[in-house]
Amino acid sequence: MSFLRPKDNTQPWKGRYAPYDLVKELCIAVGVITLLAVLLTVLLSSPDDKPSTIAQWSHELPADFATTAAKELAGTSDTAEYGPPYNHESGSVQHFLFLHPQRWLGVSHPINTADDYVIKPLETIPNDPALTSALAEYKGATEKQKKEWSEAYAKPLEAYATAVEEKKAPPSTVSVNQSTGAVTVKASGAGPVPVMMTSLQSLAQSGGLEGGLVSSSQFFQTDYTKPLLFMADGGLLAERAEQQHLLGEQWGLMNETGSYPGQPWLWLYALWYQVEPMKSSPNADIQVLLIMGLLSLAFICIPFIPGVNILPRKIPVYKLIWKEHYRSEP
Amino acid sequence: MSVTPTTPPKSWTVKVREKGVEALPPDKLLPDGQPTYVASWIYVFGVASIASLIVIIGSGCILALKGPAWWHETGVGHFFNSIHLWSVELFFFVMVVHLWGKYWMAAWRGGRGRVWVTGAITFLVAVPCALTGYVSQQNFDAQWISTQAKDAMNSVGVGAFFNLTNFGQMYSYHILLLPIAIVLLVSLHVLLVRRNGVVPPIELEEKLTAMRATSPDAQHPPAGAGEVQS
């Protein structure tokens, strides 16, 4: 407990004193900082790029939206395969040696991508007999059948996405009308899924999907986990982020949109993602956080770390800091 | 039979007052003089950190009074958001310079370890405080930063109770919980500085320690000590 109640070996200063007005100093400092902040505000303002919406996504990148929605239904999207805290899968579960904190803390924000992103929103659409029938058929099917239908629908869309990414000719099984945002998929063996997905696309383009995904049974809602993860599974956010130098390989962790400084205090944290083995590790996040946790602990304990705590005596920067003192009292 | 007069037990209030005044008498809490060695630009960065924090809290209070959507819709709101942003940038800048300065001064000497520790923890708590601000912005930055940073939080299990994609939770952390923690830490830090005094220059401290060890009048001040320059 000596750390909590250390021996107070400070001695009252018996040397000379000079008048020092602490309150005046603070008032002047507040004034100067306020002036600087106002000056920077007038000169540079602050960024405020409008958020992306699901309606915008489904209009601007209709094939990407359809592909993502198909993967959510098939259970093959990043969120569907993520693992805790969203589900019991293992796609994004990280560990370090015997440490499995992500698994230990369990599923705290459950997301069933097929239900939450596709089935439940579709159930809110009234007066559509074809959709009602398709939903009934889908829900009545076995899990194996559902998976076969979903994958049959998702397959041509994934081939389309790959062709677009590799700048090759897209397959004829998918046609996209960029002006209307309509996506037509020729998928044999997809059962009721094409009807469902066409309805979902229409619902998204009308703006009706946004509110349906906010996870709360109450009127007032503040948790955007579901719509954000749905959008992150698609390509719109990443496309915008790349244009704004926000991707991981662009040190995006510490950046923000535009030419603003962002969070430069995260530079050391961002640095570890750029070096091996973290750069290519599937467990990069936990590795970086453990490194930063250790470094943070060391930072707090600097006064007690041998070597580090005597460096200031060895490298006399203090002579520069107190040069007035040393000049007057050599 | 004589009755021994008994002093009534001190109330908790009296005990707290006496302890407080003993630890920090008013002239120590708010002194009007400082040792002559407190003469360097580096000292400015400590008070500049507090000043930046005051501007952050002031601009943050105005933004909080009007609600989280206000600054997206009005020029005045955007102005105060910009003040808030730049005061945060200034806060981190001056705090980093302050920390480096204190490191090269070995400012933990003479039982001042807790001063360093509270300062370092303040810096570390300020980082998530800023992060929760970035993810509470309700714009594209918030969407991107929250969906990317969630993986780091989830990887160590923190995401189970600290959900970066939950605007309501992040907003609460940003405008209430973490600022309270920072203000308490800074208050403790400043009180410890006032209690222990400003750390003396390295060679001077060694000289004084040697004097104390060799002289029976160890507590006697060197020549000229005790004079207050006017």
The 10s digit of each residue's pLDDT in A263-279 is 999 999 999 999 999 99
Does the pLDDT at position A283 exceed 50? Answer: yes
Helix (H, G, I), strand (E, B) or coil at A184: strand
pLDDT 10s digits, A112-151 = 999 999 999 999 999 899 999 999 999 999 999 998 999 8
* A contact residues 38-77, partner B, Cβ 8 Å cutoff: 38, 40-41, 44-52
pLDDT band, residue A35 (cuts 50/70/90): very high
Tell which of A2, A8, A20, A50 to mutate to test the B interface (max B CBs under 10 Å): A20
CA distance A105 to B127: 23
H/E element, A182: strand A182-185
Average pLDDT over residues A294-309: 96
The rounded mean pLDDT for chain A is: 90
CA distance A170 to B225: 87
CA distance B229 to B35: 10
B157: nearest CB among A104, A231, A241: A104
Ordered by start, the domain boundaries in chain B are: 40-91, 106-201
Contact assessment for residue A31 and residue A174, using Cβ atoms and an 8 Å cutoff: no
- CB contact under 8 Å between B140 and A240, yes or no, is yes
- CB contact under 8 Å between A18 and B143, yes or no, is no
CA distance A231 to A53: 8
* pTM of the shown model: 0.90
pLDDT 10s digits, B122-181 = 999 999 999 999 999 999 999 999 999 999 999 999 999 999 999 999 999 999 999 999
Does the pLDDT at position B210 exceed 80? Answer: no
Tell me if the domain spanning B106-201 has CATH number 1.10.3720.10. no
Q: Give the CA dihedral A257, A261, A263, A266, nearest 10 degrees.
A: 120
- CB contact under 8 Å between A223 and B71, yes or no, is no
How many residues are recorded in chain B? 230
Place of tokens 């939903």: A135
pLDDT 10s digits, A173-232 = 888 888 888 888 888 889 999 999 999 999 999 998 887 787 566 778 899 999 999 999
Diameter over CA atoms, chain A: 94
CA distance B57 to B55: 5
Query: CA geometry: angle at B168 spanning A70 and B123, to 5°?
Result: 110
- CB contact under 8 Å between B111 and A10, yes or no, is yes
Contact assessment for residue A292 and residue A96, using Cβ atoms and an 8 Å cutoff: no
Give me the interface pTM, i.e. the ipTM.
Answer: 0.91
pLDDT at B92: 97
Q: Which amino acid is at A182?
A: A
pLDDT band, residue B213 (cuts 50/70/90): low
Place of tokens 């439940």: A120
Average pLDDT over residues A50-67: 93
pLDDT at A254: 82
pLDDT at A11: 65
pLDDT at B225: 36
What is the chain B residue with the closest CA to A323? B40
- CB contact under 8 Å between B139 and A232, yes or no, is no
Query: Cβ of B187: how many Cβ atoms within 10 Å?
Result: 12
Does the pLDDT at position A292 exceed 90? Answer: yes
pLDDT band, residue B221 (cuts 50/70/90): very low
What distance in Å separates residue B156's CA from the closest CA in chain A? Answer: 5
What is the separation of C-alpha A274 from the centre of its chain, rounded to a whole number of angstroms?
18
- Residue with more model confidence, B162 or A161: B162
Place of tokens 């869309």: A157
Contact assessment for residue B189 and residue B195, using Cβ atoms and an 8 Å cutoff: no
Tell which of B94, B121, B141, B230 to mutate to test the A interface (max A CBs under 10 Å): B141
CA distance A121 to A321: 65
Does the pLDDT at position A305 exceed 90? Answer: yes
A272 interfacial to chain B (CB closer than 8 Å): no
pLDDT band, residue B209 (cuts 50/70/90): low
pLDDT at B226: 35
A175 forms beta bridges with A184
pLDDT at A14: 77
Backbone angles phi, psi at A4, to 5 degrees: -75, -35
pLDDT band, residue B81 (cuts 50/70/90): very high
CA distance B11 to B117: 32
Average pLDDT over residues A293-311: 96
Q: Poorest-confidence range of A103-107, A159-163, B3-7, B213-217?
A: B213-217
Query: CA geometry: angle at B180 spanning B175 and B185, to 5°?
Result: 140
Average pLDDT over residues A230-258: 87
pLDDT 10s digits, B37-66 = 998 999 999 999 999 999 999 999 999 999
Ordered by start, the domain boundaries in chain A are: 54-242, 248-330
pLDDT at B203: 76
Q: Which residues contact B169 (CB under 8 A, 6 or more apart)?
A: A222, A223, B162, B163
Query: Cβ of A30: how many Cβ atoms within 10 Å?
Result: 19
A98 interfacial to chain B (CB closer than 8 Å): no
pLDDT band, residue B215 (cuts 50/70/90): low
Residue A170 burial class via C-beta count within 10 angstroms: exposed 0-12, middle 13-18, buried 19 and up: middle
Q: Which residues contact B212 (CB under 8 A, 6 or more apart)?
A: A11, B218, B219
